[in-house]
Each structure stands twice: as C-alpha cells, then as structure tokens.
Structure 1
Amino acid sequence: MPDYVDVAIISGGPCGLGAAWRLEQSATVSGAPSYLLVEKGELGGSSRSVTTPEGFVFDFGGHILYPHANYATFGELVDTLVDGWDRSVPVRGVFYDGKLIPYPVQQNIHHLGKRKLASAFAGLAAARVSNGFRRGGRHEDRGLADHLRQRFGRGLARHVMEPINQKMWSIAPAAMSSQWTHQRSGSKVANVADVSLRKVVRSIFTGQDHVGWDDTTTIPYPRGGGTGAIWRTLSDQLPATRVRTGAEVVRIDTEGRRLWFADGGTLSYGSLISSMPLDLLMTVCGLETTPDLPPFHYASASFVGFGIEGAPPAWLTGVHSFHLPDPDIPCWRLSFPASLSDRNVPDADHWSILCEISHNDGLNYDVGQAAGRIEGHLRQIGIIPVGAKIVSLWQHSMEHGYPVPFFRRDHLLGAVHGLLEKRRIFSRGRFGGWKYEVSNMDHPFMQGVEAVDRVLHGTAETTYVTPEMVN
C-alpha cells in the first residue's frame, strides 16, 4: 500500500467503482492523480450476485437496470462489460387477496373484491375532489402516510399502500417523508405513481388493466452472472495496484487526512470519496451533528433464495416481481430471476424465487427461521406448488439494506456534508449519500464519476445535488 494518494476511495460498490473508473480514465493524462480504492469485503457492494452450488443465480436484491437518459456514459460502458443482454417486459404487481394485481395497484383497483373496491374507489374519488383534480408535482411534505391518503384515499392506503411501505421500509409511513415519491429511482414511472380517475372508472367497467409498462418497453439484464457480472468485470479492469480488499477503515483523521485500518496500516490522502454508510463514516471520523437534528434511519435487509425443481404456476410466467402487503408473510417482495434471464437457473426444469425482507435487527436477524415461515406461506397460497421440491437454498443478511427517506433527512444531510466537505471528504452512493431517489445502480456509479470531476476540476455535481434533473 502506498503512503499517500491524491484521492482515496472507501468502499467498492457502484459509486466507488465509478470513482475509480473515472480516475483511471485520467491516468493517460500527464500528471494524473494517484488513487487507491479500499474495500473491507467484496467489490460490488449491494449490487453483487451469487451463484449457488446447484447453479441458481441470485442478486443481492431485486435490482432493475433501467439507465436514465442523461447517463449515456454509463449506458455505453455497461455494454462493454457484459457478454450480451436478455431483454424482457417487466411484469410487476401486488399479490393481494390471492391474486396478482398489476402495478400500479392504484390504477387497477378493479381486481379488488367488491367491498374493498367500493372503499378504494370512494377514497380515490374523494381524494380527487379534495385535491381539485390535480395530479403529480411537488407537494407540502406532511409525511408518507398523509400523502398516500391525500392522493389515493383512505381505503386504498389502508388496505394496500401503507402495509407495503411499512414492510419495505420497516418503519411507520407516518414517520417518513414523501418527497421521494415523485422521483423515478429505477423505473419508467414515479416511485409512487399517480392515478387517473378516468382510467380507473373505465377499468371497473371493462376489466382493462392500466400498467406502468407496456409491451414496447423492455429492460436489459446481463446474459449470465446476474447484475453482479457488471461490477465484477469493471473491478477486474482496474489495476491491482489501485485496489485493496480486506481493508476495513476504523478511524479517519480528518484534519491530518489519514485513514487508519483494522490491521494497523495507514494511508494519507489529499481528498476522500466515500460510499460507506454515512452514519458509520461520521463515527470513524469522530464527528457529530447538533442535537436538534434527527438520527439516520435505515432498514436492514435479509434475502432468501429458493431454487425449485419443476415449473412455476402458469400465472407466474414472465412475472418479474410483486409486493406482498400481507403482514403475516415476512418478505415484502418476491422476484423471479428466471423471468429476467434463463441463465439464472440451471436448466429449463428448474425455477427460483428471491424473497426480500426488511427489518430492524441488523445481522442478528434469524433469516433461517424466516426462510421456513416464508416457504410455508408460499406453499399455502399456491406460489410454490404442492409437492414441488426445493433443491437449493441461499440466505444472506445486510446491516444496511434501504436508506429510509425520513422526516428532515435533507436538513441532516446538509449539516453532515457541511462538516465533511470542508475537510475534503465527499460522501456519495446508496448509503454514502442516503438518498433513495438516486440509489438505482446507475445513480451511485454516476455519483462517483461526478464526485471525481468535482475533486479534480471543480465541476458541479448533478445526480446527488439535483436528483430531479436526472430522474
């Protein structure tokens, strides 16, 4: 390890790899800055993938690669990092009362039973009248729960939308901000899509679905190796002398600009780009905010992957994922990897399910017990057919799973970045930036690229500072 680098990079997820890639681009220029990327675990961060001994591929979460239009650089790069793409129409929805309701559920309430349909429609109509039939746009932030009720009515919010968000974020919707809902993090539509009452009425009478995607819209997925293949290939292209894994940063001397590692080693730097979780970064820096600011909130994540012999139920053919608002089932989302690529399973005689669980127990969560409960529920409701044999089981937990968009988050982020950036520390990425609305895989990559451009050339950042410009 060198004694000094111009730019140190902490954590090798998409953000850190984006920063390293940008710095490597500048290496052809005379007087290019020196850099080192340090990572305590494996490169790829939460965008990694795993292949089980039985040949099933599972991503660390239901990642969708939907490059944003402003990111031509990212799109051109990833095309060179994979052996080709499988493309499919992203069929998504909500599994409710024993049936799959297409996404967005608020646009397809005709699938609900008569009593709940009446409640949902009455609430939608009342909300539209109350809002003066306005749709979309920014709004006063009175919390996610209030936003859902104001935009979609109490019936639909109570039955479906609040339970979904409670399970995904592992925090009460009333404690969350709603400002992220109008952004487009990882899809073609807003995170919480608005609704057309006219289309709802038409659907009730015709039974026609109105979905967020159509047959002309497809998403790309790497042909082999999962989404993690992108980041494995990119990291392999970096010079070995520029990367050090197994390097856990335990202290940062922010005044002396020096990193201290768990093995006792040190590294001095000119500027630091970090994508380690922002709450942990503040701790190792020995920095604190004022008591009037809120603490960081996040959800831990656990994953269960079932590799199954046979064929899935016919109604699951082509389905990418769906949410499960049922509070008795531990997971909040199921994804079906073979719908993204047939190379995610060993052969045509097998299929798989990826189950995502959000919780507040960190690495102490008993994912093994949860796996047994989930399997029982999925068999009971007919997702895993009677007699189907599970031939592969993958389990994994992450302390930091989802950065919660909590109330007054941006006030806290402003104070934290003020403390860090005057010390030449730039914290970006999924948890380094703590902005869910710019945490799709391409977002953190570009945050790393833009952070380097700012450090080297003083160029203004776009993705992290003004998400609405890229979403």
Structure 2
Amino acid sequence: MKTKYLIIGAGPTGLGAAHRLNELGCNDFLVLERNDYAGGLASSFTDDKGFTWDIGGHVVFSHYDYFDSLMDSLLGEDSLYHERESWVRSNNTWVPYPFQNNIRYLPADARWECVKGLLPGHRPEATPANFGQWIDHVFGQGIGKHFMHPYNFKVWATPPELMQFDWIGERVSVVDLKKVLRNVILDRDDVAWGPNNTFRFPLKGGTGEIFRRLADRVKDRIEYGQAVAAVDAGAKTVTTARGMTVEYEKILNTAPIDILAGRWLTDKDGAMVDAAGKLTHNSVYVAGVGLDADGIEPDSRCWMYYPESDSPFYRVTNFHNYSPNNVARPGEQLAFMCESSFSEHKPEKVEELMDRTIQGLVNTTMLDAARVNDILTKWDITVDYGYPVPCLERDAALKTLQPRLEAMDIFSRGRFGGWKYEVSNMDHSVMQGVEWAERMVNDTPEKTYTLD
C-alpha cells in the first residue's frame, strides 16, 4: 500500500490532520490506529450498567476560531454549556479554585501560614531552577505546603524539583498579595480565573462522541487494529504488528515520541535513543463509581482537586453534571470519575486502587459510608501514558529528536507525539494536526507547536 501522507494515530491530532487534509482537497493519506476505535485519550466508553465514562476529566474550551467552528459543525445542537465550578479539598474543608485566591475558606492557622508566606521577605528571591523552587518563589511556603507541592506531586507522580516551570503559562493563576488580603478581609470569592471557566460538553456519548463523528468524516482512510511495529525512514515504509506494510512520503506521528525514536525507528542513532530515554511520563488510573442519587443532596460542582493523602486520586469529576446522559437513568444517578497517577517516583498497587478510591470518596465527604454497598457500577481503565512530564531534560531531548525526525520527513505532534504539555489541551491537539496539514499542502508555518 502507498500513500503520500501517513498518519499514525486516530486521536485528536491525527484526526485533525486527516480532516484538514480532506478539506484542502488532498485525499492521498492514510491513518493507522492501533485500537478498534478512534479518539485516543479522548475516547469514551459505556459500561454494562449504562454509564458513560471518559478517560479522565476532559472539557471543551478553545483558543481558536477554527476549532470552535469545527466543534459547531460536529456537535451542532448536541452540546451542553457549563460555568466551571471547581474546588480544592484541603484541611478537611472545601476551598474554591484557584486555591491561592480563596484561602479565606481555610482554618485560621492554615490561612495565616498562606498569608505569612506571601509577605515581603518570606518568599525566596533567587531565580528558581525547577518547578519546586518556582512554587515557593511565586506562592510562598504556606500555599506551597497546603496545596501546590502535594497536589502537583499527586498529579504528576514526579517530585516538582525534577520538573521545569516554563510550561506554566495560563495553566496556573499566579498570586497577588493585595488580592489575597482583600479577599480574606472582605470575604470575597475569586473563582472566574482561567481559560476553561466556561466549557462545552457533548449531549450524549461523552467526549469520545466528538471524535467518533470526526473519524466518520474520513472513515474510508482509517485502518483500525493496526499497531505500528517498525518505521524504516530510509525505505520510507511502516510495518504494523499485523504485517501491513505502507510506503509513504511523509509521516505525522501522534504516538509517544519516545517509542517512535527509541523503539520503532530502524534508522535511529545513539543520540536519539539517549534523548528518548530522558523523556518521562506518568500513568493514570481512572475509576468510575456510579450509584443512585437517592437521599444525596444535589452537588453543582464540576470537579474537585485533592492534594492530601486521605485519597489516592488527585481529581474527581461529577460526571453526571457534564451531561445527564452520562448515567443510565438521567437525573436519578451519580457518576464520580476519579483519577490517580503513578510512576517510579509514586508507585501504586493498581489492583487496590478501586477500593482505595471508594474509601477516598468516603474520607473526603463525597460519599456517605452507608452508601458504599449501594454502588451500582465500578468501571476502570489504566492508561500507561497519562501526562507527558515537563521534566528538566525535556527541552534538550526534544531539540535532539525533532530536527532529526523532520530531516527524515517524520513530524511528531500531539500530546505525546510533541511531548509539550503546555500545548496539549484538546483544542491545541486538534490544531497541531490541522496546522501540520496546512504546512504540508500550503507550506504555511505551524503556530501551535514549534521547534524553538
């Protein structure tokens, strides 16, 4: 089989590229997808009790007009719109997100620790060398102690001292001492910060419905169940585990770049293997817990963050609030979607995580202990590649890998293909594929993912 453009992976980036190539009048492309479904990490699944689950708490918000128009065309009126309501569980109480702007909800001692850490002379003034130092430099030791340090270790499963901080951008609200004090003294909430303070969600089918519909537009160009086994850049062929061989001119890879460069590529050199080995990621266990809402007060919150050790998860999503159709009997049931991370720095016994998740829901007041026996469904999925960690060695590794790959006509983009968490939201991921397609056809420069 021959094709001009070979796309590895039918996730958001691969499908974005395929769709844009098709729009630009180029039908000479092929998508190889290892699974028997499209969507990648943005897939959704319905369990045998009729509950729908995502692979983690995805929400649709955007930085791009093209992405907005694409979502409109895919979902039409099959969309719901929400105002974000998110909270942090700290010191046995609930604090509105962003935590640092709403510390008035904390007990007095913890509140004072947070304020004290922000006072002049209390924050380290030296230029930070890593994310851990950046936290204390920007937020002070109090906010670091009560939220930023424990939460970030919990979500990344990596000590913040082993991470860079250049990825932060719009993902973390920096702190303003004047604002903090004003909010404390005047009892004001400050909850509207962030690009995802409003978001869209599909009416039915979970986040995966978006990509099922997008895949359907190019379904004749997708080969499912074809996991890549080898990439021969010299011969310009890709071989799959099932024995398919595809000749190509250019590749868009959306699979993890460390696997591509360190395992699949037959023409790799020692520098590429070494660079690939320096990239780190965490793994994520997603647990879905569903039950009838009988006797449980309605909870308007979208999702909650958990920095403390009384639960294994770092985030819980009230998935029943995203769409009533995420449960089997709309309006009558609850769906808690819980995410826990693990790595060599934070090992977990995955086989115990469902039980620990349920106990964590009890410990953090999400679930009454008397209702544990009423749980109707327990769904889970373990994702080996959860988050690409912005480790201290990441940028140097990518500067080694990406130019070498592009010299071979291999372009690696997407959440793990590009390995830049700062541009791996859903809209970023789709647009990386779109912009790559425009570069191939129209020779226009990519803007979202750059090699700088």
With normalisation by structure 1, the TM-score equals 0.89
Instruction: State the Cα deviation string for residues 193-219 of structure 1 (Å, max 9, x = none).
Output: 1122122112222322111359x9531
- Does structure 1 residue 406 correspond to structure 2 residue 406? no
SS in 1 for 2:142: helix
Q: Report if the CA contact (8 A) 2:87-2:305 is conserved.
A: yes
- Does structure 1 residue 52 correspond to structure 2 residue 32? no
d(CA) in 1 for partners of 2:390, 2:294: 39
User: What's the CA shift for 1:454?
Assistant: 1.6
Partner of 2:56: 61
Change (3 A) 1:380 1:128: closer
User: What's the CA shift for 1:386?
Assistant: 3.6
Q: Report if the CA contact (8 A) 1:90-1:213 is conserved.
A: no
d(CA) in 2 for partners of 1:393, 1:9: 35
Q: 2:201 aligns with which of 214, 221, 224?
A: 221
Change (3 A) 1:154 1:128: closer
Q: 2:81 aligns with which of 74, 78, 87?
A: 87
Q: Report if the CA contact (8 A) 2:255-2:416 is conserved.
A: yes
d(CA) in 2 for partners of 1:222, 1:354: 17
How do 1:364-403 residues align onto structure 2 when only pairs under 5 Å count? 366-388=349-371, 389-403=374-388
d(CA) in 2 for partners of 1:244, 1:127: 60
Partner of 2:249: 270
Q: Report if the CA contact (8 A) 1:169-1:299 is conserved.
A: yes
Partner of 1:22: 20
Q: 2:11 aligns with which of 7, 10, 13?
A: 13
Instruction: State the Cα deviation string for residues 382-409 of structure 1 (Å, max 9, x = none).
Output: 2112422110111101110000011131
Q: Report if the CA contact (8 A) 2:249-2:409 is conserved.
A: yes
Q: 1:322 aligns with which of 278, 282, 304?
A: 304
How do 1:10-409 residues align onto structure 2 when only pairs under 5 Å count? 10-27=8-25, 32=26, 34-41=28-35, 42-68=37-63, 71-82=64-75, 83-126=77-120, 142-181=129-168, 183=169, 190-213=170-193, 218-240=198-220, 242-282=221-261, 283-286=263-266, 287-288=268-269, 290=271, 295-310=278-293, 314=297, 317-345=299-327, 346-360=329-343, 366-388=349-371, 389-409=374-394
Name the count of aligned residue pairs: 441
Change (3 A) 1:51 1:204: same
Aligned-partner residue type, residue 136 of structure 2: R
d(CA) in 1 for partners of 2:264, 2:155: 29
Q: CA RMSD in A?
A: 2.3
SS in 1 for 2:384: strand
Change (3 A) 1:197 1:416: same
Q: Report if the CA contact (8 A) 1:368-1:395 is conserved.
A: no
Aligned-partner residue type, residue 280 of structure 1: I
d(CA) in 1 for partners of 2:149, 2:451: 28
Change (3 A) 1:6 1:128: farther
Aligned-partner residue type, residue 75 of structure 1: D
Q: 1:439 aligns with which of 409, 417, 424?
A: 424
SS in 1 for 2:302: strand
Q: Give unpaired runs (5+ residues) of structure 2.
A: none
d(CA) in 1 for partners of 2:157, 2:124: 30
Instruction: State the Cα deviation string for residues 369-389 of structure 1 (Å, max 9, x = none).
Output: 111012123223321124221
SS in 2 for 1:180: coil
Q: Report if the CA contact (8 A) 1:334-1:354 is conserved.
A: yes
| Percentage of identical aligned residues | 32
Change (3 A) 1:246 1:127: farther
Partner of 1:454: 439
